[in-house]
Amino acid sequence: AQSVTQPDIHITVSEGASLELRCNYSYGATPYLFWYVQSPGQGLQLLLKYFSGDTLVQGIKGFEAEFKRSQSSFNLRKPSVHWSDAAEYFCAVGAAGNMLTFGGGTRLMVKP
Amino acid sequence: NAGVTQTPKFQVLKTGQSMTLQCAQDMNHEYMSWYRQDPGMGLRLIHYSVGAGITDQGEVPNGYNVSRSTTEDFPLRLLSAAPSQTSVYFCASSWTSGGDTQYFGPGTRLTVL
């Protein structure tokens, strides 16, 4: 069965600092990997996704993520965080014919 | 294009009451799903549908029913509400299954007293 672990429940960074959110997955074959963002009181919005090819994927709002098969990881990064990035971030794994499995989420707080 | 819409936005029920959460999409997506979101547990799949007339159970289906009579609509029914069903419910749709981008509705916050 597929599973996703986001080890950090809460992260606080200063505005302008770099950010890395961790995601580890378990899946038997090559997975499809996603990062979604949820602003307070809102639904989820796709940030980026990885299906195949280049292991470094670019997303919206200046985010990127790197797929590392050897580490079963798909960490999300941003070089300089803005106050508007404060939200909850979810990593998810899926595959053709299967539905998505989400991690527990990481809540990001941004200090001025 | 309204995308995925959900009604109501908020609902308070008493234990034992029944209700239906509505979900509609106007993107002609085949796949639709219902998730519940609880603190620290991410989103867990309740039920999903791969097309009109076809539904299946997800990770946490107990206490919920679904049907899919049209491509557009995918209502979620709580048969006899329990406090453990207090949660935020999200409906999502996509062209295909877990390998595709899912589009989420704004959610329904349900409280069962």
pLDDT in tens, B5-61: 999 999 999 999 999 999 999 999 999 999 999 988 889 999 999 999 999 999 999
Q: Does B25 touch chain A (CB under 8 A)?
A: no
Q: Is the pLDDT of residue A11 over 70?
A: yes
Q: Pairing relation of β-strands A101-102 and A3-5?
A: unpaired
Among the partner residues A9, A44, A100, nearest to B40 by beta-carbon distance: A9
Contact A60, A47 (CB under 8 A): yes
What integer best gives the mean pLDDT of chain A?
Answer: 92
CA-based nearest distance B47→chain A, Å = 10
Q: Is the pLDDT of residue A96 over 70?
A: no
Q: Among all residues of chain A, which has the CA nearest to that of B50?
A: A97
End-to-end Cα, chain A, rounded Å: 41
Contact A32 B99 (CB under 8 A): yes
